[in-house]
Amino acid sequence: MKYYLGLDVGGTNLAAGIVDENCNLLHKESIPAGAGRSVEEITSDMAKVSKSVVKHLGLPMSKISFWGIGMPSYVNPQTGLLVHANCFGWKNLDIYSYLQKHSSLPIYIENDANCAALGEVLAGAGKGYHDVLMLTLGTGLGGGIILNKKIYAGADMMGAELGHTKLCYHGSSCTCGQLGCAEAYCSATALIRQAKEALQGNESSVMYELCGKNPEQLNAKMVVDAYKMGDQVAQNVFLQYVDYLSCAMSSFIVIFRPEIIILGGGVSNVGDTLLLPLKKKVMENTYAADVIGVPEIRLAECGNDAGIIGAAMLEKYGMDRKKNGVS
Amino acid sequence: MKYYLGLDVGGTNLAAGIVDENCNLLHKESIPAGAGRSVEEITSDMAKVSKSVVKHLGLPMSKISFWGIGMPSYVNPQTGLLVHANCFGWKNLDIYSYLQKHSSLPIYIENDANCAALGEVLAGAGKGYHDVLMLTLGTGLGGGIILNKKIYAGADMMGAELGHTKLCYHGSSCTCGQLGCAEAYCSATALIRQAKEALQGNESSVMYELCGKNPEQLNAKMVVDAYKMGDQVAQNVFLQYVDYLSCAMSSFIVIFRPEIIILGGGVSNVGDTLLLPLKKKVMENTYAADVIGVPEIRLAECGNDAGIIGAAMLEKYGMDRKKNGVS
**pLDDT for B107:** 93
Which chain B residues touch A247 with a CB distance below 8 Å?
A: 166, 169-170, 180
A176 in reach of chain B (CB within 8 A): yes
pLDDT at B181: 98
Of the candidate CATH numbers 3.40.50.1000, 3.40.228.10, 3.40.190.10, 3.30.420.40, the domain formed by A129-299 belongs to 3.30.420.40
The predicted-structure confidence for B120-147, as pLDDT tens digits, reads as follows 999 999 999 999 999 999 989 999 999 9
* Residues of A whose CB is below 8 A from B176: 287-288
Provide the b/e sequence for B230-263 (b: ≥16 CB within 10 Å). ebebbbbbbeebbbbbbbbbbbbbbbbbbbbbbb
pLDDT at B323: 41
Phi, psi of A120 (to 5 degrees): -65, -35
User: Would you say the CATH fold of A129-299 matches that of A3-118+305-324?
Assistant: yes
Percent of chain B with pLDDT over 70: 98
Q: Exposed, middle or buried by CB within 10 Å (0-12, 13-18, 19+), for A289?
A: middle
Chain A residue with the nearest C-alpha to that of B76: A292
**Alpha-carbon distances, residue A225 vs A16, A105, A207, A270, A279 (angstroms):** 34, 47, 8, 9, 20
- Predicted local distance difference test score (pLDDT) of residue B321: 55
**What are the DSSP E strand ranges found in chain A?**
3-9, 13-20, 25-32, 64-71, 82-85, 90-93, 107-111, 132-137, 141-147, 150-151, 260-264, 296-299
- List the domain boundaries for chain A: 3-118+305-324, 129-299
Q: What is the pLDDT of residues B101-114, one digit of tens each?
A: 999 999 999 999 99
| Cβ distance of A248 and B84 shorter than 8 Å | no
**Is residue B322 pLDDT above 70, yes or no?**
no
A185 part of contact set with chain B, CB < 8 Å: yes
- Searching chain B, which residue's CA lies closest to the CA of residue A256? B154
Quick check: B185 contacting A, CB < 8 Å? yes
Supply the pLDDT for residue B146: 97
Whether chain B has a CB inside 8 Å of the CB on A158: the answer is yes
Give me the residue from A165, A180, A256 closest to B254, CB to CB: A165
CB contact under 8 A, B255 and A159: yes
pLDDT of residue B245: 98
pLDDT score, position A78: 83
pLDDT of residue B77: 82
Q: Average the pLDDT over B260-285 and give the result.
A: 97
Look at residue B325 and tell me whether its pLDDT is greater than 80.
no
At residue B320 the predicted structure's pLDDT band, cuts being 50, 70 and 90, is low
A250:B166 CB<8 A: yes
What is the number of residues in chain A? 327
- CB spacing of B155 vs A131 below 8 angstroms: yes
Mean pLDDT of B296-312: 97
pLDDT of residue A138: 92
For chain A, 327 residues long, the average pLDDT of each consecutive 10-residue run is: 94 95 97 96 98 96 92 86 88 94 94 95 97 95 95 94 97 96 97 97 96 96 97 98 98 98 96 98 96 96 96 87 45
Q: What percent of chain B lies above the pLDDT cut of 90?
A: 87
Which contacts qualify for A168-171: CB closer than 8 Å, 24 or more apart?
A168/B168, A168/B169, A169/B167, A169/B168, A169/B169, A169/B171, A169/B185, A169/B244, A169/B247, A170/B247, A171/B169
| Mean pLDDT computed over every residue of chain B | 94
- Compute the nearest-CA separation of A178 from chain B (Å): 6
- Check residue A319 and give its pLDDT: 75
- Say whether B256 and A178 touch across the interface (CB within 8 A): no
Q: DSSP state, A119?
A: H
CB contact residues (below 8 A), chain B span 201-260, against chain A: 244, 247-248, 250-251, 253-259
- CATH architecture for the domain at A3-118+305-324: 2-Layer Sandwich (3.30)
pLDDT for A117 equals: 97
Any B CB within 8 A of A321 CB: no
Q: How confident is the model at residue A320, as a pLDDT?
A: 64
Task: Give B76→chain A minimum CA distance, Å.
Answer: 8
Beta strands at B141-147 and B132-137: parallel, antiparallel or unpaired: antiparallel
Q: A80 — contact with chain B (CB < 8 Å)?
A: no
